[in-house]
């Protein structure tokens, strides 16, 4: 699996699957979640609602991942994953790693060859960027998958630099 970095908007990525930094309600939010629903259109939310009504009555648990259509996005699927909220007092690294592992597992189930990841949990959920980058790159590197390209799409130059460091030092 090739790991690539790109600074830009994840909703513009022409990949098979775009990973959404969702919350457990699956009913939208700000940041990546807001951008994906805004640009992807109502079809995504419609499928999220069906998932809530069928498999995820209490919401998608942290660290898990589930796929829906990508609606109007230039992608085939959105893989929604719920990152952990950062806590200085409790090590939730395994839950953050699980977001990437589970997203790759779902991507393989779909037969996705390319997957775009945001820096999960580093926005509203407050995870320090360098540590999140280390976990993200380390987990994707260590997870066997049929996915051919894992593309980290970073919104800022600082985030991009953090992921570059994680790639080099990993």
Residues designated catalytic: 33
| Minimum CB distance to ligand APR, residue 144 (Å) | 25
Closer Cβ to ligand APR, 8 or 111, answer by number: 8
Contact with ligand APR (CB under 6 A) among 5, 17, 35, 137: 35
**DSSP 3-state assignment of 133?**
helix
DSSP letter for 121, please: T
Residue in this structure with the two tokens 């280390």, named with its chain if needed: 134
| Minimum CB distance to ligand APR, residue 127 (Å) | 7
Burial of 93 (C-beta count, 10 Å sphere; 0-12/13-18/19+):
middle
Asked if residue 96 lies in contact with residue 166, where contact means CB atoms within 8 angstroms, the answer is: no
The backbone torsions φ and ψ at residue 60, rounded to the nearest 5 degrees and listed phi first, read -80, 120
Helix (H) or strand (E) holding 19: strand 17-22
Question: How far does Cα 143 stand from its chain's mean position?
Answer: 15
| Minimum CB distance to ligand APR, residue 149 (Å) | 16
The stretch among 23-31, 47-55, 67-75, 160-168 that binds ligand APR (CB under 6 A) is 23-31
Contact with ligand APR (CB under 6 A) among 62, 98, 122, 139: 122
Q: Is 119 in the site for ligand APR (CB under 6 A)?
A: yes
Q: Is 155 in the site for ligand APR (CB under 6 A)?
A: yes
Q: Is 40 in the site for ligand APR (CB under 6 A)?
A: no
Residue 80: both structure tokens together: 């929604």
Task: Tell me which residues touch ligand APR (CB under 6 A).
Answer: 9-11, 21-23, 29-35, 83, 118-125, 153, 155-156, 159
């Amino acid at each position: 699996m090739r790991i690539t970095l790109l600074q830009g908007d994840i909703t513009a990525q022409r990949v098979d699957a775009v990973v959404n930094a969702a919350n457990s309600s699956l009913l939208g939010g700000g940041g990546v979640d807001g951008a994906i629903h805004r640009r992807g259109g109502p079809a995504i939310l419609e499928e999220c609602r069906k998932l809530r009504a069928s498999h995820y009555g209490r919401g998608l648990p942290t660290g898990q991942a589930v796929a829906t259509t990508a609606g109007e996005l230039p992608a085939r699927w959105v893989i929604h994953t719920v990152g952990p909220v950062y806590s200085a007092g409790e090590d939730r690294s395994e839950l953050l790693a699980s977001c990437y592992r589970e997203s790759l597992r779902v991507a393989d189930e779909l037969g996705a060859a390319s997957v775009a990841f945001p820096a999960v949990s580093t926005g509203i959920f407050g995870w320090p960027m360098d540590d999140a980058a280390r976990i993200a790159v380390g987990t994707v590197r260590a997870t066997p998958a049929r996915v051919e390209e894992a593309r980290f799409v970073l919104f800022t130059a600082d985030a991009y630099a953090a992921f570059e460091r994680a790639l080099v030092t990993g």
